[in-house]
Structure 1
Amino acid sequence: MKGQSSLSVYLKRPARWVELYRQRRQLAGLSDAALADLGLSRADTLQEVERPFWDDPLAR
């Protein structure tokens, strides 16, 4: 997030957290067949879903 003001980053962070929460809930709701199509196991899914909402894999 280089080049963005600190205020801009802080204002976008809650929206990103909401999006991560929504995406993880959708992932949890997928069938085993859909997960297999994505190359994921139920264990992979549970590991991702159990992450806290603020744990953003893209923020690193």
Structure 2
Amino acid sequence: MPAFRLALPLALLRPSALARLPARLLAAQALARSRRSLGRLDDHILRDIGLTREQAESEALRAAWDAPMHWKG
């Protein structure tokens, strides 16, 4: 009989990784929402926070999983 293997990475099979999954999904959703909001800010508000329109649009287009490592803790 052939042995069947799950196509999931081993890290996802650990209980601690599964327990953190909902929190990671919520964090990715919040990051995506924040980035969309950043892209909708007026130019004068962007100047107040030290960003150009191009920087804000570039950040707004980044994927939710594209976050700095220190955010992923």
> TM-score, normalization: structure 2?
0.67
Percent sequence identity is: 36
**Highest CA radius of gyration, 1 or 2?**
2
Which amino acid in 1 is paired with 2:72?
A
Partner of 1:41 in structure 2? Answer: 52
| Runs of 5+ consecutive residues of structure 2 not aligned to the other structure | 1-15
Moved over 3 A (4+): none
1:35-54 Cα deviation digits (max 9, x unpaired): 00000001111111111111
Aligned length: 56
Q: Give the gaps of 5 or more residues in structure 1.
A: none
Larger RCO, structure (CA 8 Å, separation 6 or more): 1
